Amino acid sequence: MSHRTGITAHVDRHSDMGRMVSTLDSWGIDVGKMRISLWTILEGVVVVAIAVIVARLATRLVGVLLGKITTLDTAQRLLAHKLISLALWVIAFFVVIDVLGINLTALTVFSGAFGLAIGFGLQKTFGNLLAGIILLMDRSIKPGDVIAVNDGKKNTVGQVKKIGIRAVSVTTRDKIEYLIPNENLMTNQVENWSYSSRDVRVRIPVTVDNKADLAKAEALMLQAAREAPRVLATPPPAVWLTELAERGIGFEMRVWINDPEEGMASVRSEVLKRVLRLFQEHGIELPNPSQNDLSLRDTPELRELIAALQGLKAS
C-alpha cells in the first residue's frame, strides 16, 4: 500500500479533480512505503510556498508589533524579533511535514549525512547566527553604535545600521557599507565609541612660532574650541603644551563631542579654521620652516673679511 499525503486522502476520486489527481499520481514511482509522483511534487511545492509566504508575513507582522512597544529599546526589539522569527520558521517546517504526511522516521537514513552537512557546510552560518544573538543579549553592540573594528590590516570605523543573521552592517562616513561577520565581532578587538557613553574626545595638534605669546595663543585656542558648534561645554575643552622644538612650539587641543557618527575630520577642520582666524586677528604667527635666520658672531676675523671685501669693491 503506497503512502498518501493528508491533502490527497481527502480528494474525491470520482470528481474531475479526483481524476486529475489520479492521473498525476499515476506518473510516479514507489520508494518503500512512500509514493513520489507529479502530484506529490506539485502538492509539496504548493504547501511549502504557502508556508514560506505565511511565515514571512507573520515575521513582518511581529516586527511591526514589536516596533510599537515603547518599553523595549532597539536591541531588545531586534533580539525578540529574531527569536520569534526563528520559532515561526521552525513551526512552519513542522506544519509542512504534518500537512504533507511525511513520516520523520523515514528520514533517519539521511540523518547522518544531514548532520555532517550541518557540521561542515553550515558551521559558519550557525556560528554567526549564535554570535548575533549573543551580541544582542549582552547588548555590547547595538544598532546606532559607532564602532571601530581592526581586522589586522586596517581599522574600519562606522555606525552599526543592522545586526543580521549572518553579519553586522556598518556604514562609514564615506557611505561605504561593510558587512562584518558576527563571529568577527566576538573574536576580534572592537572599539565601541558609544557603549556606555556617547562622549568621545578628539585630539587636535597645533604648532605656533617660537616667538609667539604662549598665553595668548592658548587663550585663543580655547576660544576657538568653545565657539565650535559640535564641541561640548562639559567636559570643557583643554589645551596642553606637548613639544618644544626648533620648528615651533607644539600644543594639543582636546575637545569632546557626543555625535561620533558625524565624523571626526569635520570637528578638527571647524576648530582649526577658527584657530587660524583668531591667530591672524591677534598676530600669533605659525612656524615657517622656509625662513632660516643666519646669525654671525662679531670676531676679528669677520671684521678682516668684511674689510677685504669692501676693498675689493672700492677697487
Q: What is the mean pLDDT of residues 62-77?
A: 73
Output 96-105 pairs: Cβ under 8 A, ≥24 positions apart. Answer: 96/47, 96/48, 96/51, 98/6, 99/5, 99/6, 99/7, 99/47, 100/5, 100/6, 100/7, 100/40, 100/43, 100/44, 100/47, 101/3, 101/4, 101/5, 101/6, 101/9, 102/5, 103/3, 103/33, 103/34
pLDDT score for 214: 92
pLDDT score for 71: 67
Topology of domain 200-282, CATH: Alpha-Beta Plaits (3.30.70)
Q: What is the mean pLDDT of residues 132-137?
A: 78
**pLDDT cut 90: percent of the chain above it:** 20
CA-CA distance, 180 to 160, in Å (whole number)?
10
- Is the pTM for the entire model greater than 0.85? no
| Average of per-residue pLDDT values in the chain | 78
Q: What is the mean pLDDT of residues 226-248?
A: 91
pLDDT score for 192: 86
Helix (H, G, I), strand (E, B) or coil at 49: helix
Mutual angle of helices 123-138 and 111-120, in 10-degree steps: 60
Residue-wise pLDDT for 185-204, tens only, equals 887 788 888 777 888 899 99
Residue-wise pLDDT for 26-56, tens only, equals 555 555 555 565 666 777 778 888 888 888 8
State yes or no: pLDDT of 109 exceeds 60.
no
The domain ranges of the chain are: 6-102, 133-192, 200-282
What CATH class is the domain 133-192? mainly beta
State yes or no: pLDDT of 1 exceeds 50.
no
